[in-house]
Structure 1
Amino acid sequence: MRALVIEHDPMCPAGTVGDRLVQRGFELVPLTVVPAERRDRPGVERTFPGTAGWDLIAALGAPWSVDDEAAIGPWIGAELAFLRAAHEAGTPVLGICFGGQALATALGGGVERAPRVEIGWTGFETAEPELVAPGPWFEFHTDRWSPPPGAVEIARNDVGPQAFRIGRSLAVQFHPEVTLPVMEAWLAYGAEQGIEADGLLDRSRGLMADAERRAHTLVDAFLRHAALDRAPLGTG
């Protein structure tokens, strides 16, 4: 089975989620949208493939805002059209943070600034813990989505929605894919932008083993939800 992995920025790789998909028998096909040297000038030209031939699409995080086309360029419109077409064709989409906001926007929802920056380990209420556990999960975002029409909100906290499902697709606001090296890069980038998170990396070291197990459980649950769980563990 083939999974298209939309990597908006090399600083936001598939991490633990990608590892689990490989363990479940998926071939990961990466599509990098903005190369590292254009992170501060993300208005690049990028085309997206056709929707046929993919068993799953994973849309990952990014350091920008989905609704800021003036800054990130016309590729976001092309991506929204691609996600919409894929979802409508019945291809399951897993949207993570920026990717979840993009999925919400593509399907008729929206994105707005969150009432506060959400960085760190967060728990929340979940109506479907068998699909999205209450955490704690790692958060790193300044925006939040408005779920699209027909979506079922699964989880939220005082900042806003944290997960929704629609058809075979799932969006999560948190980062199940995060690893310690990735977190270190994010926190360094955040510090450059004036966002401080003193001591968070050290506090996270003892949490990552449990976080990895939760991420694997989430991927397995998503595959069941998307009717893709025919791939047994260990075939990758």
Structure 2
Amino acid sequence: MLVHVVSDATDREGGHVTARLRALGADLVDLDRDGLPEPAEWVPGDLLLLLGSERSAHDPAHVHPVVAESRLVRASLAAGVPVMGICYGAQLIARALGGTSWAMDAPELGWQRIDTLDDELCPRGPWGQFHHDTFAPPQTARVLGSTWHGPQCFVDETRGARVIAWQFHPEVTPETYARWVEDSAAKVRAAGVDPAALVRQAKEFEHTSRTAATALVDAALRYLTVH
């Protein structure tokens, strides 16, 4: 299984998700968001995975990499290669397929439970959250989970290959979460949340998050029919 992983050059940490893919024998190839190949020059693998980002998919400052990544998503699906997205990756996929995204009034932080319609592809959690944007999925999508902040999971089966995308962070480890909190400590405090409490929560849920992420990746691969 060959997996192309799209991420920021400054943050390629796929945590529990990429660890599970490697444990299943996958070969992972990193693609830099700011230097993606043109679809005509790209040789698809077996899965395209879009990781999160501190940037916003709706930010005009990032319009060129957003357009390039959106083209890659559509080209992947047209070639019969499924796409998986996390957080920013989910927002990017939504926009690439006709949805949209925007900034929320307040960020969604910490480990939160999700209202779900599918306990395998979108378990209730709790799952790690760290985002200040939300999205509206494409009209062809099925939303499988949500919180009062917005959608948390959607799937799409209309584009030649299947899509699954999560707003929450199944991949995140305590070390990565602590770094996010440190980098955004002022914004976290402005939202009325104690940064130290978030770091403690990440450590508290380390084992259950890893176990849940392993099961989630396995369920997603079955749904996407990636072997």
Both structures adopt the same fold (TM-score exceeding 0.5) = yes
User: Structure 2 vs 1, CA of residues 73 and 150 (structure 1 numbering), >3 Å: closer, same or farther?
Assistant: closer
Q: Secondary structure at the match of 2:135?
A: strand
CA contact under 8 A between 1:11 and 1:182: conserved in structure 2?
Answer: no
Aligned to 2:192: none
1:156 shift after superposition: 0.5
The separation in 2 between residues aligned to 1:140 and 1:5, in whole angstroms, is 20
For structure 1, list consecutive stretches of 5 or more residues without a partner in the other structure: 35-45, 231-236
Output the amino acid matched with 2:37.
F
**Pairwise CA RMSD:** 1.5
Aligned to 2:66: 76
Aligned to 1:86: 76
Q: Deviations over 1:82-140 (max 9, x none)?
A: 11221233211111000000000000000012242101101111101121101100001
Output the amino acid matched with 1:68.
D
The separation in 2 between residues aligned to 1:211 and 1:185, in whole angstroms, is 17
- Identical counterparts, % of pairs: 34
How many residues are treated as equivalent by the alignment?
Answer: 216
CA contact under 8 A between 1:2 and 1:54: conserved in structure 2?
Answer: yes
Q: How does 1:218-229 map to 2 (within 5 A)?
A: 218-228=216-226
Aligned to 2:50: 59
Aligned to 2:210: 212
Aligned to 2:180: 186
1:144 shift after superposition: 0.6
What TM-score does the superposition give when structure 1 sets the normalisation length?
0.87
What TM-score does the superposition give when structure 2 sets the normalisation length?
0.90
1:72 shift after superposition: 2.3
Aligned to 1:170: 164
Q: Whose helix proportion is higher, 1 or 2?
A: 2
The structure 2 residue matched to 1:201, chosen from 199, 202, 208, is: 199
Q: Secondary structure at the match of 1:205?
A: helix
1:53 shift after superposition: 3.0
Output the amino acid matched with 2:45.
W
1:9 shift after superposition: 4.3
The structure 2 residue matched to 1:159, chosen from 149, 152, 160, is: 149
Q: How does 1:9-24 map to 2 (within 5 A)?
A: 9-24=9-24
1:49 shift after superposition: 5.1
The separation in 1 between residues aligned to 2:67 and 2:167, in whole angstroms, is 20
The structure 1 residue matched to 2:37, chosen from 48, 52, 75, is: 48
CA contact under 8 A between 1:5 and 1:60: conserved in structure 2?
Answer: yes
Structure 2 residue 95 is matched with structure 1 residue 129: no
1:175 shift after superposition: 0.6
Moved over 6 A (4+): none
Output the amino acid matched with 1:214.
A
Structure 2 residue 97 is matched with structure 1 residue 107: yes
Q: Deviations over 1:205-233 (max 9, x none)?
A: 121100000001110001000111x4xxx
Q: Secondary structure at the match of 1:198?
A: helix
